[in-house]
Structure 1
Amino acid sequence: MSYERILSEDRRLQILRLLDQSSGYSASAHLLGSALGSLGHSVSQDRLLADLDWLAEQDLVTVEDVGSVAVATLTVRGGDVAAGRARVRGVKRPLPGE
């Protein structure tokens, strides 16, 4: 497994977990980017938006453009993946106790 793949899978899990902890299970891409940086995933907005699009294709989040701001909302399936109750190839599975 490549280092880039490991980073991508962990970053996607962290996005789901951040949304799971957010009020209303949603957050702007800007806020998610800032939070990811504090978790060791400093990425460009382009990379973050690409991850959000990928997560939306997997039915793990929905993404809505509100003016010029992308807002992501966790789906029920995304919450299951964030908690480790379901698995999706391309998203890291959380370790026990995480």
Structure 2
Amino acid sequence: MSTKTFEERLTEDRRLVILRVLNEQIEYRANSSVITVALNHFGHSISRDQVKTELHWLAEQRLLTIDDIGPVIVATLGERGQDVARGRAIVPGVSRPGS
């Protein structure tokens, strides 16, 4: 049994926060700048570049789709991402709500 590092746990929580922020948006969409502000509000002080990296990772897991619009990325939460945000599905690398 492997023990996760503090950084791994932070990364997993950041990903969950992103999914939950998108889950609360109209049309389940937000741009990377808005997501960065939300992450900072929830105690995750990371750069916009790091947010974009997380958005790409979440897109690779098919939890959301992204549209690269110059300096920002617009992310749209998919059905699977909604399930993860609500705790109805588990994806390794993303924290579960309430854990």
Question: TM-score, normalization: structure 1?
Answer: 0.94
Q: Which residue of 1 aligns with 2:54?
A: 51
Tell me, what secondary structure is at the counterpart of 1:63? strand
Deviation at 1:65, TM superposition (A): 1.6
Q: Distance in 2 between matches of 1:37 and 1:95?
A: 19
User: Is 1:69 aligned with 2:72?
Assistant: yes
User: How many percent identity over aligned positions?
Assistant: 50
Structural RMSD (CA): 1.1
Q: Distance in 2 between matches of 1:3 and 1:69?
A: 29
Once the two structures are superposed, what CA deviation does each residue of 1:16-63 show, in whole Å capped at 9, x if it has no partner? 000000111000000000011000001001111110000000000101
Q: Which residue of 2 aligns with 1:10?
A: 13
Q: Distance in 2 between matches of 1:35 and 1:49?
A: 14
Q: Distance in 1 between matches of 2:25 and 2:10?
A: 22
| Matched length | 96
Structure 1, unmatched stretches of 5+, are: none
1:55–1:39: structure 2 CA closer, same or farther, 3 Å change rule?
Answer: same
4+ residue segments displaced more than 3 Å: none
What letter corresponds to residue 26 of structure 1 in structure 2?
R
Deviation at 1:95, TM superposition (A): 1.5
User: Is 1:79 aligned with 2:82?
Assistant: yes
Question: TM-score, normalization: structure 2?
Answer: 0.93
Deviation at 1:78, TM superposition (A): 0.1
Q: Distance in 2 between matches of 1:33 and 1:67?
A: 16
Q: Which residue of 1 aligns with 2:63?
A: 60
